[in-house]
Amino acid sequence: MIGHRQQLLILCLCFLSLVTPGVDAFDLNDLKKQFEGSNKAASESLKIIDQLRGKVSTDDEIEIGAKLTSGLLGASPLVADTRLQHYVNDVGYWVAAQSERNELPWRFGVIQSHGINAFAAPGGYIVVTLGLYQLLENEAQLAAVLAHEISHVVRKHHLKALQKTMKRDLWSDLAVEVVEDKQDRKKVQKLINSGLQLYTTGLDRKYEFEADLRAVVLAARAGYDPYAFLDVLTTIDSINPDSSELTVLMNTHPPITDRLEALARKMDGRLDSYARGVDNADRFRRVASSR
């Protein structure tokens, strides 16, 4: 068995091989296989290998998502309505349960902002603005909006974008848990703000189209009318695009008409048999009217 120090040395060599042109990561795979199933120290080393290759553990992904979400909540806190928050979590959890990452600790919230938007953060954190929530007419539409955000998380769109845009050292620090040290807090705050920029610059347009197309499938899987998502887009499209509530959404997403067109073309009737799915408008209204 290899000692821990020797492992670290090998890791350093491997890192050099990664950053050295002409040397591929094939050896790294072999090394990883050798480590697998050996001992605890080795599992720690495996984690480092994954980080070196740009892979992030689920725990780290959740920690990164928590930090970004705390930033979003700092910009706009949750609506003080327990019933509403539970309802959104119930709908979201059910939809997420139909996804390929149903093991994540999915968390949903409605924030006070009157802007019309929804945000997803790595690890399963999703927030919807009150402005968007109030545009919705039924549970199927809510499920569809959440399904779009869930799809971003399932496909790790934000994680990939952060890895691309943030400097390597800053990026890895985002996964470190927050401590009570003042200096560290300042540093973490800076990191969070750096990460939050993603929500104003937006994802690659192809990720948005992908999330749209996966959202309608997720909605159908969950027993809802998948066309409810197109209803939401149509509603948003009827709002003056210059209104301040839509600024961030419009800056970060493809034009609504392009999204509707792509959805209709790619769905191509294949989800029509699910269009009779429930919309649970009564249940949705009961929650809304209790506010």
**Site residues for other proteins, window 43-82 (CB under 8 A)?**
66-67, 69-82
Nearer to other proteins, 45 or 99 (CB): 99
Minimum CB separation of residue 169 from other proteins in Å reads 20
Token reading at 14? 């491997």
Q: Which of 132, 120, 103 is nearest to 68 (CA)?
A: 120
List the beta bridge partners of residue 99: none
204 — phi, psi (to 5°)? -55, 135
How far CA 14 is from CA of 8, 22, 30, 37, 171, in Å, comes to 10, 13, 11, 20, 20
Contact status, residue 108 vs residue 142, Cβ threshold 8 Å: no
Q: How far apart are CA 184 and CA 277, in angstroms?
A: 50
Q: How far apart are CA 115 and CA 112, in angstroms?
A: 9
Q: How far apart are CA 78 and CA 212, in angstroms?
A: 25
User: In the window 173-212, what residues touch other proteins (CB under 8 A)?
Assistant: 178, 188-189, 192-193, 196-197, 199-200, 210
User: In the window 215-244, what residues touch other proteins (CB under 8 A)?
Assistant: 216-217, 220-224, 235, 239-240, 243-244
Nearer to other proteins, 11 or 203 (CB): 203
- The answer to whether 264 contacts other proteins (rule: CB under 8 A) is no
Nearer to other proteins, 10 or 130 (CB): 130
Q: Which of 262, 280, 276, 138 is nearest to 220 (CA)?
A: 276
CA atoms within a 13 Å half-sphere pointing along the CA-CB vector of 19: 7
Nearer to other proteins, 54 or 74 (CB): 74
Selected binder of other proteins within 39, 57, 134, 257 (CB under 8 A): 134
Count of chain residues binding other proteins (CB under 8 A) = 93
Minimum CB separation of residue 93 from other proteins in Å reads 4
Nearer to other proteins, 46 or 220 (CB): 220
Nearer to other proteins, 25 or 97 (CB): 97
DSSP 114: -
User: In the window 137-176, what residues touch other proteins (CB under 8 A)?
Assistant: 137-139, 155
Question: Segment contacting other proteins (CB under 8 A): 14-22, 29-37, 45-53, 94-102?
Answer: 94-102
Nearer to other proteins, 34 or 200 (CB): 200
Minimum CB separation of residue 208 from other proteins in Å reads 12
CA distance from start to end of the chain: 63
